[in-house]
A and B are shown apart, each in its own frame.
Chain A
Amino acid sequence: MRTLLSSGLCCALALATGLPSRAFAQEHTTVGGYGEVHFTNATGPNTPGVVNLARFVLYLAHTFDDRLTFRSEVEIEDAKVEGGQPGGEVSVEQAFLDYRLVDWLTLRTGLVLAPVGIINETHEPPTFNGVDRPGFDNDVIPTTWREIGVGALGTIPGGSGLAYRVYLVNGLRAEGFSGSEGIREGRQEGQLASFANPSFTGRLEWARPGWKVGGSFWYGGTANADSVLGTGSFAAPITLVSADVRYDVGGASFRGEVANINVSDAGAIGARYGTTVGSRIAGGYVEGAYDLLRLLAPGATQKLNAFVRHERYDTQASVPAGVTRDRSLARRLTTFGLTYKPTWNTAFKGDYQLVRNAAGVGEHEVLSLGIGYQF
């Protein structure tokens, strides 16, 4: 549980006694965070193991009254940022104001996470198996994808189990697109972002105990008013659709994600910026896990998940005329390993990943160990 500052003392007391408290309706500040430390060792010559404080994230929220709340996350990647050194990034991952009008409608504005897929919005390390996030959630869905805009979210009343989020945000910039990482470097991430291409993104989810099924979309131009690509708001558009499912039953859990991205003017974008971005980027993964403590220690509250995940995706699933398809971008990743969770919000992880592609070029294996936490 998070720590409440200032006026939070009476809240903490109220929590301890189970007493409802007046203080809850009052102004308060909440601090939380998550992080992960990785050890990775790839096979092959001259590939020594690497240890890295991959992410250290502080969550800070302030509730002004019963309806208005500010929420933010600040992230340090790779432990530090130093000029002339590789790696390292400090960034604000989220920073927005939420105004809760009614139970089924909250208005949101600021730097928001694109509500696409599973990992982009729910990326705390104890929530997923494997030391690193799925490759799919890096190369296809450009996690952590955040842009500035306005939107609405809520649950659809009547116990339907449906929840929605819709935002109007700044668009991607085609200049950053590439053959190997698709739309990833087209993100603007709230830094002096161009609003030439307002874009729409949204998600609909359905939930039941053990179940969560979701579908997401993104539509918007990417030309950034470059006259070669077109100056209209929706010039050089991309269309993303994705679907995901999570299902837990007994000690078993399953999840999967698929996505398809159409880059309409990939040929013109590639010619303009000298890149080989695919006209279609597509793929997905399936993952199954079983909590071994169900068998080994039925009375336990801890978890020891054995899991296997298989990913297949291609950032050049289709290419525009004149571009030769690079088959090494048709990737196949198989990851298997263990996740030990002494509590629901801490994880010790180990996995082994087989990195393959359709061209058979640069194939290797990676051993990873890691810890993760959230609070």
Chain B
Amino acid sequence: MTIALALLLFAVQNPAAPAAKVTSSIARLFGPGAHVDTLQVDSGAVLRVSRGDSLLGFAQVGNVLGKDQPITFLVAIDPADRLKDVDILVYREPYGGEVAYEPWRRQFRGKTVADSLRVGREIRGISGATISVHAVTLGVRRMLAALTAWHQRGAIR
């Protein structure tokens, strides 16, 4: 019930991300039955994921602009501020959908703010998906930095 309410509230604030997709993404990343609270931080909403008394991590939904459409994505971190995974929730462009493929997304796993995330270096690109690759990589880098900063200064806990 709590998770449903939290996600409903979250979905109302984030019309670009269908609640069902956020729900299944959280379940995939943190396992089924995880408890989700919505925290308000600065100008954004952060999902706090826990089970029982233990904190499992945080997640946030954002948009970056591809060629002409927003790409709606989710970034999740663990309690040690390591990136758990990136999910592409809604991809609307006609080309470049390869950023949603697991072999591309998994390159981000385990990264922290201390890691450099450059396309063509730490993150391999995909020909024909260049705009989306750069946009999502930049979005992930910013969101990872924001989540880490909020967590480290106690704005989310």
Contacts and interface: CB of A to CB of B under 8 A. Distances in A.
A110 to B, nearest CB: 13
Contacts of B126: 207-212
Given A2-B65, A19-B44, A24-B16, A301 B118 contact: yes
B15 A4 contact: no
B97 A155 contact: yes
A362 B127 CA distance: 36
A301 B120 CA distance: 9
Nearest to A31: B68
A24 B63 contact: yes
Contacts of A1: 65, 135
Interface residues of B, number: 47
Given A21-B16, A103-B91, A207-B129, A63 B68 contact: yes
A206 B80 CA distance: 36
B43 A17 contact: yes
Interface of A: 1-2, 4, 11, 14-15, 17-22, 24-25, 30, 32, 61, 63, 66, 69, 71, 98, 100, 103, 106, 108, 118, 121-122, 127, 153, 155, 159, 161, 163, 205, 207-212, 246, 248, 255, 291, 301, 303, 344
Interface centre among A18, A32, A153, A155 (most CB of B within 10 A): A18
20 contacts: A2-B68, A15-B64, A17-B43, A18-B62, A18-B139, A21-B16, A25-B15, A32-B68, A69-B69, A108-B94, A155-B98, A161-B103, A163-B95, A205-B128, A208-B103, A209-B125, A212-B128, A246-B127, A248-B120, A301-B121
B146 A18 contact: yes
Contacts of A18: 44, 60, 62, 139, 142-143, 146
A159 B92 contact: no
A209 B63 contact: no
Given A25-B16, A71-B68, A14 B103 contact: no
Contacts of A159: 101-102
A192 to B, nearest CB: 27
A61 B68 contact: yes
A63 to B, nearest CB: 7
Q: Which 3 A-B pairs have the closest CB atoms?
A: A30-B68, A209-B124, A24-B70
Nearest to A163: B97
Interface string B89-118: 001101101101111100100000000001
Nearest to B106: A209
Given A209-B107, A248-B124, A66 B92 contact: yes
A163 B100 CA distance: 12
A106 B124 contact: no
Given A103-B91, A212-B126, A212-B127, A4 B17 contact: no
A21 B95 CA distance: 22
B124 A2 contact: no
A106 B13 contact: no
Nearest to B126: A207
B65 A15 contact: yes
Interface centre among B14, B68, B130 (most CB of A within 10 A): B68
Contacts of A69: 68-69
A210 B129 contact: no
B148 interface: no
Nearest to A207: B98
Given A100-B94, A248-B125, 14 more contacts: A2-B65, A11-B70, A17-B43, A18-B60, A24-B70, A30-B67, A127-B130, A159-B101, A161-B98, A163-B95, A208-B126, A211-B127, A301-B118, A344-B119
A310 B135 CA distance: 33
A274 B45 CA distance: 70
B134 interface: yes
A3 B23 CA distance: 32
A248 B127 contact: yes
Contacts of A122: 127-128
Interface in B66-85: 67-70, 72
B23 to A, nearest CB: 16
Given A69-B68, A155-B97, A20 B17 contact: yes
Nearest to A60: B68
A1 B137 CA distance: 13
B61 interface: yes
A141 B72 CA distance: 36
B43 A210 contact: no
Nearest to A98: B94
A19 B139 CA distance: 11
A228 B96 CA distance: 45
Contacts of B44: 17-19
A302 to B, nearest CB: 10
